[in-house]
């Protein structure tokens, strides 16, 4: 086997163990303390492969934000999760919601991943891990698979831990529906 294949297999095993661990134990034990619900979401500015080159959370005041953290571009679970969000992009737009993906990969990797998968939403490069840490989603060299729903006023309304990529977008849409219905 090539070195790249061995590394890919090892990464897949690590991600599988982390996913199992994350669904079995509390998030505080894996990735750090979570930000508080119903409080302002941690602000950030990160480089992106799209638009003007940087995105801040405050850029989306007046919109719901689906902020999802994921471990690595081009891995199977991350690709599946990204595809599902892309498939549902029109549904999110109809709900006044913006999807933002975050990982520790750089903007070049994100650009290649977006091109390869046809992703039409921004991916943010948290190469130093500071934003992942602020959201309790940092484990060593990667971000954990966590998602945060932030309301139009910048208030954190929902946290998803133990994410299952195949059904996650549908779960987020359903919860977004509930939150929007409760506020109308």
In a 13 Å sphere around the CA of 47, the CA atoms on its Cβ side amount to 14
At 139, give phi and psi (nearest 5°): -135, 100
Catalytic entry in 55, 66, 78, 139: 78
- Catalytic: 78? yes
Q: What is the 3 state secondary structure string of the chain? A: CCHHHHHHHHHHHHHHHHHHHHHHCCHHHCCCCCCCCCCECCCCEEEECCCCCEEEHHHHCCCEEEEEECCCCCCHHHHHHHHHHHHCHHHHHHCCEEEEEEECCCHHHHHHHHHHHCCCCCEEECCCCHHHHHCCCEECCEECCCEEEECCCCEEEEEECCCCCCCHHHHHHHHHHHHHHHCC
Catalytic site residues? 78
């Amino acid at each position: 086997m090539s070195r790249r294949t061995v590394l890919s297999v090892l990464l897949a095993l690590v991600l599988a163990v982390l996913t199992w661990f994350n669904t079995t134990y509390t998030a505080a034990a894996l990735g750090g303390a979570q930000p508080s619900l119903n409080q302002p979401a941690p602000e950030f500015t990160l480089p992106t492969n799209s638009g003007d080159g940087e995105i801040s959370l405050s850029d989306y005041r007046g919109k719901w934000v689906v902020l999802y953290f994921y471990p690595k571009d081009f891995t199977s679970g991350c690709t599946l999760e990204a595809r599902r969000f892309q498939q549902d992009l029109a549904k999110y737009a109809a709900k006044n919601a913006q999807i933002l993906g975050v990982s520790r990969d750089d903007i070049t990797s994100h650009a290649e991943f977006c091109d390869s998968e046809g992703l039409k939403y921004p991916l943010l490069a948290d190469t130093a891990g500071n934003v992942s840490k602020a959201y309790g989603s940092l484990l060593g060299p990667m971000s954990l698979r966590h998602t945060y729903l932030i309301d139009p006023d910048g208030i954190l309304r929902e946290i998803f831990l133990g994410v299952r990529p195949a059904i996650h977008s549908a779960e987020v849409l359903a919860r977004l529906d509930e939150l929007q219905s409760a506020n109308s």
